[in-house]
Structure 1
Amino acid sequence: MDEPIEQRPEDDWVDQDLLTRELAGSLLDEEIAAERDRIDRVDRGVGGDDIVMSRADMARRLAAMEAIRADVDVNVTIQF
């Protein structure tokens, strides 16, 4: 017979949120690097199939991603 699983009274969302924040941060890091590369290629006149916006739009997008990334790094403390 299987042993019953003891259920804790607290939700485990806190741990999941931390993992989600870490994953979100790493995904943002990758996209920020990719956007910087696209801007650099536009500046050098190289271009590419993945460049679908104007340089100004890419710069605005990069600034927005960097601002969001800064917020992901903020430590969140949850007290019970």
Structure 2
Amino acid sequence: MEEPIEQVPQADWVDQDLLTRDLAGSLLDEEIAAERGRIDRLDRGVGGDDIVMSRADMVRRLAAMEEIRAGVHDEATIEF
């Protein structure tokens, strides 16, 4: 007689990871657009309460986010 397989009430971790990567990419896209907007406003002399860094720091932050964003959809390969 076979033992019944117990169903765990949590969702599949693989599916959650895929959703998390998609969500992370989407959130990064939004923040990259917002940072570009802040830099643009700063360059035009408009400013705003959400500008809390120097322009150089904002450009570095933007570059880092863009680099990370490029890697979000890279697929991991397993070599044996």
Q: TM-score, normalised by structure 1?
A: 0.80
Amino acid at match of 1:50: D
Among the aligned pairs, what percent are the same residue? 84
Q: Which amino acid aligns with 2:56?
A: A
Query: Following TM superposition, by how much is the alpha carbon of 1:76 offset from its aligned partner in structure 2, in angstroms?
Result: 3.6
> TM-score, with normalisation over the residues of structure 2?
0.80
Q: Which runs of 4+ in 1 moved over 6 A?
A: none
Aligned pairs, how many? 73
Aligned partners of 1:13 and 1:64: how far apart in 2? 28
Determine if the alignment matches structure 1 residue 60 to structure 2 residue 51: no
Amino acid at match of 1:55: R
Letter in 2 for 1:12: D
Unaligned runs of 5+ in 2: none
| C-alpha displacement of 1:73 | 1.6
Is 1:18 matched up with 2:12? no
Within a 5 Å distance, the mapping from 1:38-77 to structure 2 comes to 38-76=38-76
Structure 1 regions of 5+ residues with no counterpart? Answer: none
Q: CA–CA distance in 2 between the matches of 1:55 and 1:76? A: 34
